[in-house]
Structure 1
């Protein structure tokens, strides 16, 4: 594909292969060097991406994956809701799916959604068309691509329970994988090497529109009452350990509710949430999480596992 098809956000470089690091190929989408990311994350922290790529569509993404040198690190971000981007930024190429990946199509017994579609949007669209079974998505602050990649769940349902198939872009093209192919586990899916989810089909059941809307409102009300949804946060910080124990209960028992490092704080409202109260750095938020893990380990013997992704370089 000719370099002229590339639409840079700033002055066009003399040649992508010489001006951009890591041999980024010519694309129809947007390519930006030293792209600030912090302001677009839910924590409002983090450094810049060495190279940020917003592919135009799935074909553009496949071309990137095909032509990018194998040694170039690739990081995929969606709504940046459930992650900490470290203060030193992200090495290599960061892929962010946006326009071209956000379509939501309603079918008789399900929804086909692009990876950039917000989970909330899918839940509301299903409800508006009288489709039940996807209400749990209203409680997940992210995108469908991220939800598939981490088997996101809330209120007793996970993506694995409703997924028919996911389409994943790879260097060889787009492949359609059934739920069984993704080997789902708790907050985990197995994607092809350097694969990027681009679309997914979620099963739903025709139901009573009023009852579905009531369930959405019930979940919204519960989240508002129990979680710091209006704070700068990254969602649930740690996975629930095996068994019936809840991460928040262990954190509370270890005396961590309200614990602070600088402007990073364990939420008083729900102590499995870390919040940026104003000027926290990514390093402070991550250090606070590690302090919580240490205190829980000392108090209970349980090793909490991060659910929030921590990516990039320290400052």
Structure 2
């Protein structure tokens, strides 16, 4: 099959294990893992790739379960060529799709731009933030995004405005197979000292309340209208619940953790067991926030 794939300037790896690249440290391999050298490499590859082959973007893998059967088609991972962040004007940053939330928020602080501090707390990349309307501590991407550059599955580069994405809670209408290669975030003028203080507050709050030292996938379930997911999970008696090597965190019950050698099937099955218990006890049906991808 390698002979039928487009030639690339970057790195194209068959059967690439994805477990080392995701926070849960579980799951199967990508049929193909593509790490483009630059934007032209990505566009050229997608434009020549068989349209029947699925394409999926992978950032830091922090909010994702890669199923044990692996991911068919091509997984695209953006590297350093897509990780730059620069100041466009007094309150706007131009951010590469592979840039981390820590880099974006730190660059905003250095540029005296407030309103982007919440990105410090989201362990992901700009591409994932844009796709999932990433948010925490009172902020969401829909509040700061101006527009984004996206390479469509066809290889075409287009610019989408905030309104084009029709954001809702942890969801956008980004086209299937599209890769976010850059985005413009706009805040407001601020004081770097105050911005750093807010980032420190957020960091301390996360450290105190979340199992950051564990192999986890971040917030497992969306907060239902009028409820907090963790309270529903706790109320259903699921704190510390285990299935194989997977466990509901005792520190924060909306986090699942891999205690050692958990399979992705165990992690997902534990999540489904929690959903059922919550429905049985409260009548509320929790929705997954974590992406589950690939074959079981």
Tell me the TM-score range normalised by the shorter chain.
over 0.9
Q: How far off its partner does 1:211 sit?
A: 0.7
Partner of 2:274 in structure 1?
Answer: 292
Find the counterpart in structure 2 of residue 3 from structure 1.
none
Trace 1:115-154 onto structure 2 (pairs within 5 A): 115-154=97-136
- 1:14 counterpart residue number: none
**Aligned counterpart for 2:81 among listed residues 91, 100, 110:** 100
Distance in 2, matches of 1:24 and 1:52, equals: 12
**CA 1:19 to 1:210, structure 2 compared with 1: closer, same or farther past 3 Å?**
closer
Residue 192 of structure 2: aligned partner = 209
Per-residue CA deviation, residues 74-124 of structure 1 (Å, 9 max, x unaligned), is 111110110011111111111111121101112321111101000111111
Contact 2:151 2:181 in 1 (8 A): yes
Distance 2:209 2:248 in 1: 14
Report the counterpart of residue 242 of structure 2 in structure 1. Answer: 260
> Secondary structure at 1:100's aligned position in 2?
helix
Structure 2 Cα separation of the partners of residues 191 and 278 of structure 1:
35
1:164 is aligned, of 146, 150, 167, to 146
Partner of 2:233: 251
1:224 match: 207
- Structure 2 residue 20 is the aligned partner of structure 1 residue 39: yes
**How large is the RMSD of aligned CA atoms in angstroms?**
1.1
- For residue 278 of structure 1, the aligned residue among 247, 260, 268 is 260
In the alignment, the residues of structure 1 paired with residue 190 and residue 67 of structure 2 have an alpha-carbon distance, to the nearest angstrom, of: 44
Q: What is residue 87 of structure 1 aligned with on the other side?
A: 68
**What is residue 157 of structure 2 aligned with on the other side?**
174
Partner of 1:186: 169
Give SS of 2:262's match: coil
Which structure has the larger Rg?
1
Instruction: Return the match for 1:55 from 22, 25, 36.
Output: 36
Q: TM-score, normalised by structure 2?
A: 0.97
Counterpart Cα distance in 2 of 1:71 and 1:40: 25
Shift of 1:172: 4.9
Deviation of 1:128 after TM superposition, in Å, equals: 2.1
1:112 alignment counterpart: 94
SS, match of residue 80 in structure 2: coil
Is the CA contact 2:45–2:155 (under 8 Å) kept in the aligned structure 1? no
Q: Which residue does 1:74 correspond to in 2?
A: 55
Shift of 1:203: 0.2
Q: Which runs of 5+ in 2 are unaligned?
A: none
The two structures have a TM-score, normalised by structure 1, of 0.91
**Runs of 4+ residues over 6 Å off in structure 1:** none
Match of 1:308 in 2: 290
Pick from 196, 217, 235 the counterpart of residue 234 of structure 1.
217
